[in-house]
Structure 1
Amino acid sequence: MMVIVVSRAPPRLRGRLAAWLLEIRAGVYVGDYSARTRERIWDQVLSGLDQGDAVMVWRTPSDQGFDFLTAGQNRRMPEDFDGLKLIRFLPRNGG
């Protein structure tokens, strides 16, 4: 299973994602595809994101049980900590 969440994404990208995945809430897409198809869908996200941001999560046979990728500007940035992916929060702009 994979989940993609987009914010401030252009309508064209949202339409592309809706062609492959089920949009269960605004900007939240769910599906179950092979690693190769998942990578192709993520390439579509990267090429069509413009000023938006996105995260993709999928299950893996790792200690955490999942992996994820992010794209675009977001305060939450992934960081590796001894083999575990954790989230580091960036400071707010102007604060």
Structure 2
Amino acid sequence: MPSMLVIATTAVPDHLRGALSRWTSEVVPGIFVGSVSARVRDQLWQAVIETVGDGAAVLVHPAPTGQGYAMRTAGSRRRVPEDFDGLALIRMRAAPKQVNGLQSPL
């Protein structure tokens, strides 16, 4: 049975956006909304994982949790979902340090 999903992308290749738009609607740049089966959802997410590159993506879909949804992420993001006793909360990572206008690994 189809259920709604939302995929938000940042700096992903254009061909990934094209692949996602075959099954969903890109309501604003980088935000895809659709109603698909769990099988199609999982196949779309696998395609995202394989091609996200230096970009980032998050998938939100219905799930039998206290909140009623689950989140999956791919790529490097400052916002990281973490499970706290069954409640998905977002933890913020520190911003990378800048040294002379360049990112420092420290």
- TM-score in terms of structure 2 length: 0.85
Matching residue of 1:16: 19
CA distance in 2 between counterparts of 1:7 and 1:27 reads 6
Higher helix share goes to which structure? 1
Cα offset for 1:61?
A: 2.8
Q: Which residue among 37, 54, 59 is the counterpart of 1:56?
A: 59
2:88 paired with 1:85: yes
Count residues in correspondence: 95
Counterpart residue number, 1:25: 28
Contact 2:65–2:86 under 8 Å retained in 1: no
> Structure 1 regions of 5+ residues with no counterpart?
none
Give me the CA root mean square deviation: 1.0
Q: Report the structure number with the largest CA radius of gyration.
A: 2
* 5+ residue gaps, structure 2: 99-106
Higher relative contact order (CA 8 A, sep 6+): 1
Shift of 1:80: 0.9
SS at 1:32 equivalent: strand
Same amino acid, percent of matched pairs: 43
1:28 and 1:78 map into 2 onto residues whose CA distance is: 18
